[in-house]
Structure 1
């Protein structure tokens, strides 16, 4: 069943590139070109704007010509996700090398590079969920995260779960940023003009602005929230959700590593 469901995508991602179709004129199509066209559409309009017809039009070919290379949208999205994920042998490896040899520093650097990938292509959040075919780049990212935990005394299952936990935190932050960015002008108006997304105030600032209005109207009903917001206004600390959550996750993994009697 798995081979029937994901086999075509796996073969496209991991097998040799297909040759020209046996019938019909050769159009010079390549999997890289097809994926690139899909990525460009998704970057501009989101994953919902991608279709086989739309990609074919971008490449100036018929949809039937495209089907000779890619059997359907699921396989197209798999190719797009692989193309959009940064090659780990490039920027990720350099970031890990700069982080040093400690598992905590390397896993933290991995998380920040993953967030950068999601920020560059927000539609990847939708394209990389659920049971699906994954390509060499995605597997390369997983390999490097697991390699950072080698020698820590964790079991394979524990290492996998630790990586999933870190990745889940990164995804949560990226989802919040995507939602703020998608709100556009409406979100900015609600937040009193604060800019959305990573380039502006960020999700914490947006939420703080909305909560500030709530506190102005009904602050006496929520004293603990009022005290927390007052502390943020006085001492700072907004838009540190990535680092705060990541550090707490790494603290927890560190306790497990210590319990196993391994260094890091």
Structure 2
């Protein structure tokens, strides 16, 4: 499974010439997932939408695990060029990754668990590692990227549940039980007076980068 994207694909010497590409199959599966969710994707459904039999897809990929991996590889696309000072570069990287996940609601689910890792996914890690400042160990550099990616994933997973929506949903509870939650009441009142809601992505990203800056400064 691990070498699905990397091992050379044997060309069949007998039988009909392959009529599909892995990209066409992935695109058909993406269209289903975008419209109906990842649970609706199956080898049978994708084959039917393409006008082929389920068995014909096995010429191109072993099963659904690899199909979902191919979908994610197509959905992520290669990372955009990231240049400039490390803090600005990592901000651009995280913003681009958030945009990539936001384009497909199923992408977060598809990127968990044991699965083949494709060139695009590795390229995203490579791009972030390249722009990290010097002074960090290899383990710290990998952990830094994991922390940044985890923040992006957390915010992407909250899509459709923004802070302002949460505040509205809590309005009745806070109004009727304010004495039980004074800190919540105070925070919501401050947001109402001064704004600043829906800033968790930038706020959290800024604090992560602040921490990296402090760590790097300690090594100088």
Which sections of structure 2, spanning at least 5 residues, go unmatched? none
CA contact (8 A) 2:66 2:115 kept: no
Structure 1 residue aligned with 2:115? 132
Among residues 143, 149, 159, which one is paired with 1:167 in the alignment? Answer: 149
Shift, 1:111, TM fit: 0.4
Following TM superposition, where does structure 1 have runs of at least 4 consecutive aligned residues deviating by more than 6 angstroms? none
CA contact (8 A) 1:21 1:68 kept: no
Structure 2 residue aligned with 1:182? none
CA contact (8 A) 1:18 1:69 kept: no
Shift, 1:211, TM fit: 1.6
SS at match of 1:14: coil
Structure 1 residue aligned with 2:34? 43
Shift, 1:84, TM fit: 0.9
Q: Which deviates more from structure 2 when the two are superposed, residues 202-211 or residues 114-123?
A: 202-211
1:122 aligns with 2:105: yes
SS at match of 1:144: helix
CA contact (8 A) 1:86 1:137 kept: yes
CA contact (8 A) 1:81 1:127 kept: yes
Task: Work out which structure has the larger RCO, using CA pairs closer than 8 Å and 6 or more positions apart in sequence.
Answer: 2
Shift, 1:78, TM fit: 1.0
Change over 3 Å in CA distance of 1:171–1:31 after alignment to 2:
same
Structure 1 residue aligned with 2:11? 19
Change over 3 Å in CA distance of 1:238–1:64 after alignment to 2:
same
Taking the aligned partners of 1:21 and 1:121, their CA distance within structure 2 comes to 37
Structure 2 residue aligned with 1:110? 93
Taking the aligned partners of 2:189 and 2:179, their CA distance within structure 1 comes to 13
Change over 3 Å in CA distance of 1:66–1:49 after alignment to 2:
same
Change over 3 Å in CA distance of 1:70–1:21 after alignment to 2:
farther
Shift, 1:18, TM fit: 4.8
Which sections of structure 1, spanning at least 5 residues, go unmatched? 1-5, 178-196
SS at match of 1:140: helix
User: Could you tell me the TM-score, scaled by structure 1's length?
Assistant: 0.79
CA contact (8 A) 1:152 1:260 kept: no
- How many residues align? The count is 220
1:239 aligns with 2:193: no
User: Could you tell me the TM-score, scaled by structure 2's length?
Assistant: 0.95
CA contact (8 A) 1:78 1:133 kept: yes
